[in-house]
Amino acid sequence: MTDPIPAVRRLGITGTDTGIGKTVVSCALAARARQLGMRVAAMKPAESGIDERPVSASGLLSDADRLRGACGNVHPLSLVRPYVLREPLAPMVAARRAGVTIALDHLNEARTALEHGQELLLVEGAGGLLVPLTATLSYADLFASWQCDMVLVAGNRLGVLNHVLLTVQALERARLPLLGIVLTSLTDHDATVAEATNFDVLQELLPTQRLLRFPWVDRVEDFDALADAAHASGLDTLLGGGAAPHRRAVG
């Protein structure tokens, strides 16, 4: 049986693939929520391959570090990232190779502690929606268990049409409410034909879905810049809830 609908609002941030801007969008949403005066926390249930991340003068810049920073550096990293895995693999595989068991109970405990006193919890997945945490638990299962409203981040590149359509179908099968699709710019170079046409084609193929563009931001550690980009891109509609599909009854 799932938990009762929480007082804190939970947004699940999933993607069409890895490396398409989920963390940037998650940080932008968190920073913008703080600008709007919201109490916000963010979580990456399992992060793998962190020693592959770039290092700056401030130290290791893992996804969880960035999420924590965007929320004001007030939450313990152990709650923001309950599981940290060295190899850059799917969490299930990285955990097995490290001799680690990913337990839903531990994730639930971390989430409960992290969201205490918050209005909004952002939960960033790894890779795509069906990436496995364990052999019996995918991110789709976790988002459903936690009753998240979903944001789909899609990198604007060749292939994104198929990836978005497949993910939207998977969200529908999982009965996960989709608030919007955020098409991210992955480069500041001139757009290819695919990049120039993807947004309009997605609007045509998914006329009932909210579709937003998020620009290239070269200062991903500048949370004010990310918050401003979120505002300019219309991501406030995701923070406010907008016209999300009616949430299913809990039984």
Q: In what order do the strands lie in the sheet with 40-43?
A: 40-43, 120-128, 9-15, 149-155, 178-184, 211-214
- What is the rounded end-to-end Cα distance, in angstroms, of the chain? 7
Backbone dihedral angles phi then psi of residue 239, each to the nearest 5 degrees: -70, -30
Q: Are 193 and 166 in contact (CB under 8 A)?
A: no
Q: Are 59 and 99 in contact (CB under 8 A)?
A: no
The single-letter code of the amino acid at 105 is: D
Is there a catalytic annotation at residue 22?
A: no
- Burial label for 214, CB within 10 Å (0-12, 13-18, 19+), is buried
How far is 125 from 138, CA to CA, in rounded Å? 10
Residue 103: partners with Cβ closer than 8 Å, 6 or more residues away: none
Pairing outcome for strands 55-56 and 149-155: unpaired
- Burial label for 194, CB within 10 Å (0-12, 13-18, 19+), is middle
Q: Point out the catalytic residue in the list 44, 66, 81, 111.
A: 44
* Residues belonging to the active site: 44
